[in-house]
Amino acid sequence: MDRRTALKNLALVIGSTALLPRCTSHSSVAHFNSFDVTYDQQSLVLDMAETIIPKTATPGATDLGLDKFIWLMLDDCTKTDDQKAFFKGMGEFSDLVKKTYNKDFADCTKQEKMALLSTFEKKPGDKKDAKPANNYSKELNGFFGTVKGLTVFGYTESQYFMTKEIVYELVPGRYNAMYPVKNNMKA
Amino acid sequence: MSTNTYDAIVIGSGISGGWAAKELTEKGLKTIMLERGRDIKHVKDYVNANKAPWEFPHRGGRTVQMEKDYPVLKRDYPLNETNLDYWVNEKESPYVEIKRFDWFRGYHVGGRSLMWGRQSYRWHDVNFEENAKQGIGVDWPIRYKDLEPWYSHAEKFAGISGNRDGVPILPDGDFMPPMEMNCVEKDVAARFNAYYKDKDRHFIIGRTANITKPLPGRTNCQYRNKCWLGCPFGAYFSTQSSTLPAAMATGNLTVRPWSIVTKILYDKDTKKAKGVEVLDAQNNQTYEYYAKIVFVNASTLNSAWVLMNSATDIWPDGLGSSSGELGHNLMDHHLGVGAGGRVEGYDDKYYFGRRANGIYIPRYRNLNGEKRDYIRGFGYQGGAGRDEWGRSIPELSIGGAFKDALAEPGEWNIGMGGFGETLPYHENRCYLDKNVKDHWGLPVLAIDATCKDNEMKMRKDMAEDAKEMLEACGVKDVHVFNSEPVLGRGIHEMGTARMGRDPKTSVLNEWNQVWDAKNVFVTDGACMTSAACQNPSLTYMALTARAANHAVEELKKGNI
């Protein structure tokens, strides 16, 4: 059990959420240029990123701080209207989690998280440009798409990925026009 | 003699300005090169050239603020955080678009030679002759043979890598060893060249101003593919890596950054220019510089601006305006049309290194007697590559297995985009808009140009041919793209002060001399009488070297 879940459980023991709204139970609000992000919102995005790029034998989203990258990109590189849509989608996502599992995303099991996020994805065998088979709103699908896109972008452009998972050389010094792919070779 | 007096003045420090400075100083002329923007020192000022991708806060992307600050640049790929400071400050230097015209400018020493695409192709006599044969615009006053030795001269010094392919329409040059096609490109080339053997279509490695062998002070290409950041190895041709050090080595060159040339000073008694007026961009003071000859290399549109802003009682519409053609016949290459697809197989093959070059398919339309429903033609640039990370596979979209799959090589794909010739239309033009002023209170350019029927018909072929050729080579899932053409987007502006045989219908003579002031030479894209479809910079280099040689000969003879 991580610290956040422990704190939440503690809050449940102390009193109902109605009496003690979540936002006051975690006062750590992050201030960005264009918006503020509550602790719960930060946790949600980090949890989603970690579900998409989990820690396995190699580092995951949390280890690599990908949530910080997501918020930076959302703050600096996203238009105001798209930011609004993102937060609207985020609200709908929280509702969806509640409706599906009757609890918060943070309290879901890994399997539940995976199952829920998979509803945003195409089915195996679907065509490249196929849309996922859900009836979610544009904002909700967009919210997931933004989190996933930035998580993957942040991961594949991270120093860890580029130096340990693939071989990025700042100065290749050569061009091998034909290079055999060996077993388990990385791109 | 005033300290502001030189033998030669060069306005602009980009590809052609750098060449003018090199040629003139090497021939012994004390030369001042005037650059409107800041200085950028070779290597030292390439501040982002050695950063890893993860060192850029937005990983090379663009912020909302950047899009606000660069409303023109944001329209296409150039706007990104890695070389933002190489692009003009759009607030300080606005222009007026009568019709949309994407004008991507670099106001600094080196100009766009720092960010250019580097593809370098010779012209063919077909390109020089078509205007006359088809009654379009005016005839070029020169032919291929006039430029051939200067192409060699430019190629040898700049360093162009390429293969001697023996393609009739695309003369071979004095090349450094070519870069190599990857395995998919090689196989596609073999199929392509077999399939189109009788149709004279060719699939070749690009010819690029990236050196594959060292040159003095320059290291061969290290396959970083970060050219647009400035190359610490000096491996691609730029003013900084190539012409500027050569010019400086003569001891004859003075470079003056922050120098906006506001006008060329015309002396009506001698019927020549006596110098230029400069507005210092930093202190707003005005200075005059004097010289025997003036080379105008401010880039196609800005060279026209300098000439138009040099109005006198005799030439109220500007120096070189007597024909009524100054500012007219603006051209570009129209692009944004082509095709791409997936290549099956080759899963066990990959490549290493980032090649700053692609493949080229030279023009094949309207040659050898063929007559389409349009005139002229187009070439394609493209390449094959393997998706690297970032691909997503439907079966594995989130989770640990997905994470691992991101590091595996993805599918092979191939794509190509056309570069089409734009005809010189008199009504495609730029002119001074005196109601709009820039940061320094100077009138700005209004640009009024558009693609017309001939270009639109050509684009149908550019799209359909690309699809047909890729499919003929076994490429799968071929998709075609054909966006609305926008002039300027090719960043190959040409025309506005065309060369010709008759002072009544052209601005420049066969030696790039302004008919109305023979000691003024315009040798950048402004001088172009037609556009062909090859990337134009190599031709500017050759024309500049040729004109500089002529200028010095004429000076010696006392003719100018």
**B 94-153 residues inside an 8 A Cβ radius of A:** none
CA angle B542, B543, B549 (to 5 degrees): 90
How far apart are alpha carbons B43 and B218 in whole angstroms?
11
pLDDT > 90? residue A19: no
Cβ separation A77–B58 shorter than 8 A: yes
How far apart are alpha carbons B514 and B499 in whole angstroms?
9
Whether residue B174 contacts residue B122, with contact meaning beta carbons closer than 8 Å, is answered with no
- In the block, tokens 């690297």 appear at B388
Q: Which of A32, A26, A130, A28 has the alpha carbon at shortest distance from A86?
A: A32
CB-CB neighbours of A31 under 10 Å: 7
Residues sharing a CB contact under 8 Å with residue B221, sequence separation 6 or more, in sequence order: B161, B179, B210, B211, B212, B233, B235, B236, B356
- B157 to chain A, minimum CA–CA distance in Å? 22
The dihedral through the CA atoms of B97, B99, B100, B105 has a sign that is negative
Decide if A177 touches B, using CB distance below 8 A: yes
Cβ separation A60–B403 shorter than 8 A: yes
Q: Spell out which residues of chain B touch residue A54, defining contact as CB-CB under 8 Å.
A: 399-400, 403
Q: What is the amino acid identity at position B321? A: S
Phi, psi (degrees; rounded to nearest 5) at A18: -65, -35
| Among candidates A170, A174, A175 on the partner chain, residue whose Cβ is nearest the Cβ of B50 | A170
Of the residues A76, A126, A141, A147, the best mutation for testing chain B's interface (the one with the most B CB atoms within 10 Å of its CB) is: A76
Q: What is the pTM of this model?
A: 0.93
CA angle B506, B508, B511 (to 5 degrees): 140
Residues sharing a CB contact under 8 Å with residue A111, sequence separation 6 or more, in sequence order: none
SS (H, E, C) chain A: CCHHHHHHHHHHHHCCCCCCCHHHHCCCCEECCCCEECHHHHHHHHHHHHHHCCCCCCCCHHHHCHHHHHHHHHHHHCCHHHHHHHHHHHHHHHHHHHHHHCCCHHHCCHHHHHHHHHCCCCCCCCCCCCCCCCCCCHHHHHHHHHHHHHHHHHHHCCHHHHHHHCCCCCCCCCCEEEEECCCCCCC
Cβ separation A175–B58 shorter than 8 A: no
Q: What tokens were used for B393?
A: 């596979």
How far apart are alpha carbons A150 and A142 in whole angstroms?
12
pLDDT value at position A24?
Answer: 46
| Among candidates B354, B388, B410 on the partner chain, residue whose Cβ is nearest the Cβ of A172 | B354
**B 167-206 residues inside an 8 A Cβ radius of A:** 179-183, 186
Q: Based on DSSP, count helices (H) and strands (E) in chain B, helices before strands.
A: 10, 19
Instruction: Provide the ipTM.
Output: 0.90
pLDDT value at position A125?
Answer: 67
> What is the chain B residue with the closest CA to A71?
B58
**A 129-148 residues inside an 8 A Cβ radius of B:** 130, 148
The dihedral through the CA atoms of B504, B505, B510, B514 has a sign that is positive
Cβ separation B183–A177 shorter than 8 A: yes
Q: What are B267's strand-pairing partners?
A: B272
**B 364-393 residues inside an 8 A Cβ radius of A:** 386, 388-390, 392
Phi, psi (degrees; rounded to nearest 5) at B371: -130, 105
- A109 to chain B, minimum CA–CA distance in Å? 14
- B404 to chain A, minimum CA–CA distance in Å? 9
- B19 to chain A, minimum CA–CA distance in Å? 28
How far apart are alpha carbons B473 and B468 in whole angstroms?
9
Q: Which of B144, B114, B530 has the alpha carbon at shortest distance from B331?
A: B530
Decide if B3 touches A, using CB distance below 8 A: no
Cβ separation A77–B403 shorter than 8 A: no
Q: Spell out which residues of chain A touch residue B354, defining contact as CB-CB under 8 Å.
A: 172, 175
Q: Is B399 left (phi over 0), alpha (psi -120 to 50) or beta?
A: left
How far apart are alpha carbons B544 and B128 in whole angstroms?
17
- Given the DSSP bridges, would you call strands B253-256 and B31-34 parallel, antiparallel or unpaired? parallel
Cα separations (Å) of B441 from B91, B185, B262, B270? 13, 52, 11, 31
Domains in chain A: boundaries? 33-165
Distance of CA B114 to the CA centre of its chain: 11
Cβ separation B389–A121 shorter than 8 A: no
Decide if A178 touches B, using CB distance below 8 A: yes
The dihedral through the CA atoms of B516, B521, B525, B528 has a sign that is positive
> What is the chain A residue with the closest CA to B178?
A175
Residues sharing a CB contact under 8 Å with residue B51, sequence separation 6 or more, in sequence order: B82
Of the residues B43, B51, B55, B59, the best mutation for testing chain A's interface (the one with the most A CB atoms within 10 Å of its CB) is: B59
pLDDT > 50? residue A7: no
Cβ separation B59–A148 shorter than 8 A: no
How far apart are alpha carbons B113 and B297 in whole angstroms?
12
User: What distance, in Å, lies between the first and last C-alpha atoms of chain B?
Assistant: 19
Of the residues B51, B352, B413, B478, the best mutation for testing chain A's interface (the one with the most A CB atoms within 10 Å of its CB) is: B352
- B56 to chain A, minimum CA–CA distance in Å? 10
Cβ separation B352–A174 shorter than 8 A: yes
Of the residues B63, B64, B188, B233, the best mutation for testing chain A's interface (the one with the most A CB atoms within 10 Å of its CB) is: B64
How far apart are alpha carbons B137 and B133 in whole angstroms?
11
Q: What tokens were used for A85?
A: 């849509």
- A10 to chain B, minimum CA–CA distance in Å? 30
| Among candidates A52, A72, A158 on the partner chain, residue whose Cβ is nearest the Cβ of B57 | A72
The confidence band for A16, taking pLDDT boundaries of 50, 70 and 90, is very low
Cβ separation B406–A52 shorter than 8 A: no
Cβ separation B406–A179 shorter than 8 A: no
Local mean pLDDT, 10-residue blocks, chain B (560 residues): 87 98 98 98 98 96 96 96 97 98 98 98 98 98 98 98 97 98 96 93 98 98 97 98 98 98 97 98 98 98 98 96 98 98 92 95 97 98 82 72 88 96 98 98 98 98 98 97 96 98 98 98 98 98 98 96
Q: Spell out which residues of chain A touch residue B180, defining contact as CB-CB under 8 Å.
A: 175, 177
pLDDT value at position B397?
Answer: 84
- Rg over alpha carbons for chain A, rounded to the nearest Å, is 19
pLDDT value at position A23?
Answer: 44
Q: Spell out which residues of chain A touch residue B350, defining contact as CB-CB under 8 Å.
A: 178-181, 185, 187
Mean per-residue pLDDT for A56-83? 98
How far apart are alpha carbons B49 and B115 in whole angstroms?
12
How far apart are alpha carbons B501 and B139 in whole angstroms?
7
> What is the chain A residue with the closest CA to B395?
A124
Residues sharing a CB contact under 8 Å with residue B77, sequence separation 6 or more, in sequence order: none
pLDDT value at position A5?
Answer: 45
- A13 to chain B, minimum CA–CA distance in Å? 33
Mean pLDDT computed over every residue of chain A: 85
Decide if A54 touches B, using CB distance below 8 A: yes
Whether residue B200 contacts residue B329, with contact meaning beta carbons closer than 8 Å, is answered with no
Diameter over CA atoms, chain B: 81
Mean per-residue pLDDT for A79-108? 97
Decide if B350 touches A, using CB distance below 8 A: yes
- B225 to chain A, minimum CA–CA distance in Å? 9
- B356 to chain A, minimum CA–CA distance in Å? 10
CA angle B506, B509, B266 (to 5 degrees): 85
Cβ separation B53–A157 shorter than 8 A: yes
**B 45-84 residues inside an 8 A Cβ radius of A:** 50, 52-54, 57-59, 61-65
SS (H, E, C) B1-13: CCCCECCEEEECC
pLDDT > 80? residue A12: no
Cβ separation A179–B222 shorter than 8 A: no
Q: Spell out which residues of chain B touch residue A152, defining contact as CB-CB under 8 Å.
A: 390, 392, 406
